[in-house]
Amino acid sequence: MQASNVCTPTVDHFGTILVAIELSRQSWLVTMHSPDRDRISRHKLCGGDHAGLLALIERAQERAARALGSVPAVVSCYEAGYDGFWLHRRLMAAGITNHVFDPASIAVEQRARRAKTDRIDGELLLRTLMAHWRGEPRVVRIVRVPSAEQEDARRDTRERQRLITEQTAHTNRIKALLRLLGMAVGNPRRRDWLIWLAAQRDWQGQPVPPRLAAELEREHARLMLVREQLEALSQAAVGADAPAAAAQMARRSALLLRLKGLGPVFAATLTNEVFYKDFRNRREVAGYCGLAPSPWRSGATNHEQGISKAGNPRARHKAIELAWLWLRHQPDSALSQWFRERTLNGSGRIKRIAIVALARKLIAALWRYLTTGLVPEHAVLKAKA
């Protein structure tokens, strides 16, 4: 999810129908302001009733057209959440200008016990839309919605990450169960591991107890299923042809693969999570990854709170992991030299702080490399096959 502070040019919002949609699984609360009325109207719909929403907007347009003599435009908004972007695409297809708001950027009361209802949230969302539509700067961050093809293209890398996490969990569970008996673990990820386990004995010379053996067998079966899915996912990624909409993402992934230290998994993850978007500058890249600094400056108080950790957590984790790999595989690059100069004789804490700064510089350098072709200074490219 990418948010931006781009200002909307000042427009005449008095001739526009403004619609704020408060989404939930059970119901939708539509808060609307129409130029033919001097009050806010609220309408409750069943959750997911996009046809009812469009019919409601159409009726408001017809009523306003009779009063104004012309059909007013419609601008709508809702907060990014579990519903994703399908409603945005549905509204845009119907000719409605829609904005997806970053919920964390909407200003709320700071009282410890502030009132919160769908009615209050709907009014707040509508007032925020009004302020944004008339051109107030930095009133809210707008999420940049990816295309359906771009959103689908990153499914593989996200599923792979979940499967790897599940594989680690099953492996650790098997190891923990055998450690209870003080027995050797071996390699649970082998298909013939159960045959090897049957020959193992504990300190008393006894085999694994029957109920524990049955649990280990079920756990191993789940582990094998995860490994089969991982293998199938890898083969599908290698054998599949990139669709036309993902051709640019495939080219960017190939460019990343030219750099020493970046493998197919890293290149695909960075491309699908970060570099499928078009950023205007390096600050937007760092902000999207949650690597932007968060200063606290008020009066005589002036200190840093660390990185914001906003944006895409997958991108941030990969960027920091890549920074460690960059130090190993690109030791002569300017970024690696910068890191060593600032952490010379430094403690582990200093290095952990500096690696985050290196990740921010590295992700910006990779964005510059993909957009302008400028290879990071003194970075080594892989030899062509």
Per residue in 142-194, pLDDT tens?
A: 998 988 888 888 888 889 999 999 999 999 999 999 999 999 999 999 999 99
Can you tell me the mean pLDDT for 197-203? 92
pLDDT on residue 240: 54
Residues of the chain by 3-state class (helix, strand, coil), percent to 5 = 50, 15, 35
Residue 382 banded pLDDT, cuts 50, 70, 90 = confident
Strand 73-79 versus strand 97-101 pairing type: parallel
Residue 5 banded pLDDT, cuts 50, 70, 90 = low
CA–CA distance, 143 with 5 (Å, rounded to integer): 9
Fold classification of 2-145 is Nucleotidyltransferase; domain 5 (3.30.420)
DSSP string of 60-103, one letter each residue: HHHHHHHHHSSPPEEEEEEE-STTTTHHHHHHHHTT-EEEEE-G
Q: 33 by DSSP, 3-state: which? A: strand
**pLDDT above 70: residue 245:** no
**Element (H or E) spanning 213, and its range?**
helix 210-239
Residue 135 is classified by DSSP as T
Answer for the pair 130, 122: CB distance below 8 angstroms, yes or no: no
Residue 18 banded pLDDT, cuts 50, 70, 90 = very high
Q: 43 by DSSP, 3-state: which? A: strand
Residue 265 banded pLDDT, cuts 50, 70, 90 = confident
| Count of Cβ atoms closer than 10 Å to residue 308 Cβ | 16
pLDDT on residue 363: 95
Answer for the pair 275, 230: CB distance below 8 angstroms, yes or no: no
**pLDDT above 80: residue 244:** no
pLDDT on residue 299: 86
Looking up tokens 């017809």, which residue turns up? 62
CA–CA distance, 140 with 36 (Å, rounded to integer): 26
Average pLDDT, the chain: 89
99 DSSP β-pair partners? 77
**pLDDT per position as a tens digit, 210-238:** 999 999 999 999 999 999 999 998 887 65
**pLDDT above 50: residue 296:** yes
CA–CA distance, 58 with 65 (Å, rounded to integer): 10
pLDDT on residue 201: 92
